[in-house]
Structure 1
Amino acid sequence: MIGTSTAEYIFIRGCILILHNIAPASLLYTALLLSPLPTSLSIHSLPLPVKAWLVAEATFFTVFFLPYKYYLQSPAIHPELPSREGRAELFERCNATVEDPEEYLSQWFLGAQKEHIKRDNVKEFVRWAFLNSEQAKSENEDEVEGYVDGMEKLLGRDILPGKGGAKSLRLTVDKVDCLHRSLLWYFCVWVVDTITYLSMLYSGFHFHRASLKRFFMLFPFRPLTVFSTYRSPVKHLTYWHRPHLSKDRLPILFIHGIGIGLYPYTEFLRNLKPVGRDDREVGIIALEIMPVSSRITHPALEKDVMVREIQAILKYHGWSRFVLVSHSYGSIISTHLLKSPLTAPLIGPIVLIDPVSFLLHLPDVAYNFTARQPVRANEYQLWYFGSKDIGVAHSLARSFFWSQNIMWREDLGVAGADGDKGRDVTVVLSGRDLIVDTKAVRRYLAASLSDGGIPNKAQGCMTNGNRKASITKARKQETGAWTGGKFTGSGLEVLWFEHLDHAQVFDSETTMRAVGKAIGAYSAKV
């Protein structure tokens, strides 16, 4: 993630201006090229390669993008609802961690004032959030009314009757809001992918490709992968594998976030080399999640399909236990792995870097990623190159079901207050994260540490003084600050980088080393 300086702002706005206007410029050129008017003759002075490129861009926009964008608007297939008791429990659990109810409600309604958010507006939002429904159904209306009553209790006031002008953010029923990507952009993606491919090979990884029959299911095409002699044992997922040779260390499963695939992590993975006492290398599997990697490909996999494919990959390589490491969107997949009986028993220690899955019922992640109007350079980068990408926009608008994706502390399986042995977990957070309210996540984890479970409603509304008392103050140093002052490798620990933004932990050797220290220690817990 870039910073917020004036120079970076000018750079990112310039890149967006050029890339976003390739399509209209190409359409205009092609129209003039086909025009019989004499004034169009001057356009023939362009070199032939430039002419061919502009015509190709215009064709790509009209023949592919426009119909594909229409196709992407197909409604989401929502997962099966939990029981009514389960829904009520989820509602109460969410309310227990809301610290500012008025801000919570306003942000879900895109910053609307409370007088514009009336009872029918809230009912509409509740139907989506807890019933996966866009329309009112008579059999559920008493339940919806009960949730609105609960919202009034949380707010400490009555919600005005009727329907106001506010519009709520409802990811899986709102339109898929994406922007065109030019062939030039996909050429840049191909260049980055090629660099990543060569870099990973140089670092000792082997690429496990999909079936050759699926070569044309991914764009831009990856001709280098055809020559790989290693084949993925599953239909969709491709991945990079470094063989696990150590007998006294755990291997590592790495899941990346939204962006351009594994490119931002190549140095991190290259230097992630904890070595056992037998001086043999620790294995790594780095998955490729292509629907959120600036590619045109299949839709995001359903939760159960993703879990089964990962389990099959682990079984193929003979892994019976591993360290789970994920970044950003990868924490969503980590949540599914932790909740599945197929994979949960295989997961040892965990490192979650910039996770987006904690407190997912709060509006920050959904609003900041999909609805916020960008102002600063980093916000424009996230907006154009992240949320408006075709694959990312579709994945979030049609496959991102928050109640499935949310991670509660007990899902981690950390040792409880009764002394039961559980997993060791490190959560890496950045103080200037532009997507996640990391301070709220930090308070949630700190409160959980203090009582061995999720905070109750009273704890969710602690005073500022109580919150500060529950957390060790962060030391301002490049290596980050651990909640307990130092890394112990036991229980749940938070590594806090006060001055970093989302994903910037991968920009510095010092910060990567601090995260790698935890991973190396966890790998030793065979």
Structure 2
Amino acid sequence: MLVGQSTAEYVLTRAFIYFGSYLGLICLVYFYLALSIGGVAAIASPISIFIEVIGAIEILFYLCWFLPYRHYLHKQRAAFPRPLTCEERKELVDMILAVTPDTELFVRKWMCGASLGDLRRENLKEWLLWALFDSSAPPGDDDEELEGYVTEIEERLGTAIKPGWGPAKSLRMNFDKFTVTHRTLLYYFAIGIVDLVTSIALLISGFSFYRQPRAAFIRSFPFRPFTLLAPNESAAPNISHFYRPHTSKTHRSIVFIHGVGVGLFPFLPLLRNLPKEIGIVAIELLPISSRITTAMPLAEDLKREIGDIVAQHDVKDFVLVANSYGTLLTRQFLESAFLASKLHSIVMIDPLSVLLHLPDMAYKLTKRTPAEANELQLWWVAQTEPDIAFTLSRRFCWREHVIWKEDLIGGNVTLIIGGRDCVVNSEAIAAYVTTDESKLGTNDAAHGNLRWTSQDMEQWNKSVNEWKGQGLELVWLEGLDHGQAFTNKNARSKVLGIIEKYCERDTDGAGGDASEPASETSSRTSKDGAVIQEQEMFSVLSGSGQPKI
């Protein structure tokens, strides 16, 4: 949950970052000043000894853990899915250009803000090799294909791109060196306390904890006592989760996936205020929860393991509720025949996956120099946190997670986005979701003329009160930043209302009818060989072969 943009919040955020990063150095400065002013008697007092011991431990932690760990992370290579075919790459480029509101700004941001005058053909090819080929090698047999893409971009720009190399530097998340900053042991101790409080609060609220194998206890720091103590083991060895049993006959269950930060703690008010009879599977993604842990599973593995968790609890049908980074897994739900067959509706809060090809998220989470308090908090919490930075830079492939409008049409989907979101281009996403394609026209769509006006923004502002729960909808939270849908009382109430409405079985539109899912069945074999019967709902395949809900 991001702070505001006041001067006081900036000062407090900066002070917190200094304390959380340089506690050992602060203790060392104290030792020097105490010795200089008070002599041996000053540094020998009980309080001074305590501070000095803390400082010594923190300095050793920095030297013996952080520096080697940073070196280890930087040595790791990016992991990629299967390569795209030439036809798939061409289709993807056409899709990108068709829904890019400003081609010049699009290119310049992917070139880290360089002017078009500093851009050359080889710079653009270097970026295309990353975006489409998952490659950092110079062009080879694919040079002719790359030239075709560069020529198409030239046509959209309305200007020629000179040959050779220019001073522009392309943004390539999986190959660029990423920045990590130090966290003190005291900080990780605080994270452990927050994690423990979250677990206890959820257990008191009727949830059960499903741990990773007990051997994973030593692979996650701060250590989690419940990994040793909890009797229930998750069906997914890489993913722990909390589960509240479903007892309602008039509602659907919920699968919830959190975003970057400190795990499920910020979402306690949401999870605890949903009706008690609604079952909830709350997925934990530890690599983006400010912990020292194992690497994030690849998208294909996440899809399989989440399916195993859903099958473990025999969830018949559910509403997917995802926040921020969690929305990046929406595509995995749509592409899994098992998960899509049970998926009734989707609530994406602060969505990152829609229009993921735009450079805003990549630039702001990897290259932006923070200027405001909210940007500074994001820089420290996400952009430079060791495991989160590694996840974004080495375990994330944008085309595995991007969501297009065509993927969402045909089901009940709500995107909840703040008007002042500092991570994504919220206006572009809102325009993309709400644009009537019949009015846009084929020629406009083919030339990327996705635009919005003040009249559009006025209509977006009305969306909070005009939400119906039918089809693809936008809820625009004017004045709110990324994550503030959970801290603003009115916005949180609206989010709760949307989720509850989607969960209802006895209403048309958002909840559908009161019947069980259609009886057509299929099966899949889990990793232990068990055959799991699955009931197909209304998942259909689009012309591109991707599932639509």
- TM above 0.5, yes or no, is yes
Partner of 1:254: 256
Cα pair distance change 1:489/1:138, threshold 3 Å = same
Cα pair distance change 1:9/1:297, threshold 3 Å = same
Partner of 1:7: 8
1:362-511 paired onto structure 2 within 5 Å? 362-412=358-408, 414-415=409-410, 423-447=411-435, 457-458=445-446, 460-462=448-450, 464=452, 467=453, 473-475=459-461, 481-482=462-463, 486-511=466-491
Partner of 2:103: 101
Cα pair distance change 1:463/1:186, threshold 3 Å = closer
Q: Residue 338 of structure 2 aligns to a residue in which SS?
A: coil
Query: Take 1:448 and 1:472, find their aligned partners in 2: how far apart are those partners?
Result: 16
Cα pair distance change 1:267/1:463, threshold 3 Å = closer
- What code does the residue aligned with 1:291 have? P
1:76-475 paired onto structure 2 within 5 Å? 76-273=78-275, 281-412=277-408, 414-415=409-410, 423-447=411-435, 457-458=445-446, 460-462=448-450, 464=452, 467=453, 473-475=459-461
Query: Take 1:231 and 1:23, find their aligned partners in 2: how far apart are those partners?
Result: 38
Gap regions ≥5 residues in structure 1: 33-38, 276-280, 416-422, 476-480
Check whether the contact 1:186–1:220 (CA below 8 A) recurs between aligned residues. Answer: yes
Partner of 1:418: none
* Cα deviation digits, residues 443-478 of structure 1 (max 9, x gap): 1011256579999635731555xx556676244xxx
State the shift of 1:521 in Å: 1.2
State the shift of 1:355 in Å: 0.4
Query: Take 1:300 and 1:520, find their aligned partners in 2: how far apart are those partners?
Result: 31
Q: Does 1:56 align with 2:57?
A: yes
Partner of 1:420: none
Cα pair distance change 1:87/1:454, threshold 3 Å = farther
Query: Take 1:449 and 1:244, find their aligned partners in 2: how far apart are those partners?
Result: 39
Partner of 1:518: 498
- What code does the residue aligned with 1:82 have? L
Check whether the contact 1:351–1:426 (CA below 8 A) recurs between aligned residues. Answer: yes
Check whether the contact 1:409–1:454 (CA below 8 A) recurs between aligned residues. Answer: no
- What code does the residue aligned with 2:18 have? L
Per the normalisation by structure 2, the TM-score is: 0.86
Query: Take 1:434 and 1:371, find their aligned partners in 2: how far apart are those partners?
Result: 13
Q: Residue 75 of structure 1 aligns to a residue in which SS?
A: coil
Query: Take 2:471 and 2:188, find their aligned partners in 1: how far apart are those partners?
Result: 44
Query: Take 2:203 and 2:330, find their aligned partners in 1: how far apart are those partners?
Result: 26
Check whether the contact 2:24–2:54 (CA below 8 A) recurs between aligned residues. Answer: no
Q: Residue 485 of structure 2 aligns to a residue in which SS?
A: helix
Query: Take 1:48 and 1:321, find their aligned partners in 2: how far apart are those partners?
Result: 59
- What code does the residue aligned with 2:178 have? V
- What code does the residue aligned with 2:53 have? A
Q: Residue 349 of structure 1 aligns to a residue in which SS?
A: strand
Per the normalisation by structure 1, the TM-score is: 0.89
Cα pair distance change 1:468/1:56, threshold 3 Å = same
Cα pair distance change 1:457/1:240, threshold 3 Å = same
Percent of aligned pairs with the same amino acid:
37
Partner of 1:278: none
State the shift of 1:77 in Å: 2.1
- What code does the residue aligned with 1:493 have? E
Cα pair distance change 1:448/1:360, threshold 3 Å = farther
- What code does the residue aligned with 2:145 have? E
- What code does the residue aligned with 1:314 have? V
- What code does the residue aligned with 1:356 have? L
Cα pair distance change 1:336/1:149, threshold 3 Å = same
Q: Residue 427 of structure 1 aligns to a residue in which SS?
A: strand
State the shift of 1:508 in Å: 2.5
| Aligned residue pairs, count | 499
Q: Residue 282 of structure 1 aligns to a residue in which SS?
A: coil
Query: Take 2:324 and 2:261, find their aligned partners in 1: how far apart are those partners?
Result: 10
Query: Take 2:441 and 2:224, find their aligned partners in 1: how far apart are those partners?
Result: 46
Query: Take 2:338 and 2:441, find their aligned partners in 1: how far apart are those partners?
Result: 25
Cα pair distance change 1:44/1:155, threshold 3 Å = farther
Query: Take 1:452 and 1:240, find their aligned partners in 2: how far apart are those partners?
Result: 44
State the shift of 1:25 in Å: 4.6
Q: Residue 133 of structure 1 aligns to a residue in which SS?
A: coil
Query: Take 2:111 and 2:32, find their aligned partners in 1: how far apart are those partners?
Result: 42
* Cα deviation digits, residues 292-344 of structure 1 (max 9, x gap): 00001011111111111111111110112111110000001122211222322
Check whether the contact 2:121–2:164 (CA below 8 A) recurs between aligned residues. Answer: yes
State the shift of 1:78 in Å: 1.8
- What code does the residue aligned with 1:284 have? I
Cα pair distance change 1:3/1:471, threshold 3 Å = closer
Gap regions ≥5 residues in structure 2: 34-38, 505-510, 515-549
Q: Residue 466 of structure 2 aligns to a residue in which SS?
A: coil
State the shift of 1:30 in Å: 10
State the shift of 1:53 in Å: 2.1
Q: Residue 72 of structure 1 aligns to a residue in which SS?
A: helix
- What code does the residue aligned with 1:436 have? V
Query: Take 2:270 and 2:24, find their aligned partners in 1: how far apart are those partners?
Result: 36
State the shift of 1:489 in Å: 1.7
State the shift of 1:227 in Å: 2.5
Q: Please, what is the CA RMSD of the aligned residues? A: 2.5
State the shift of 1:202 in Å: 2.2
State the shift of 1:47 in Å: 3.9
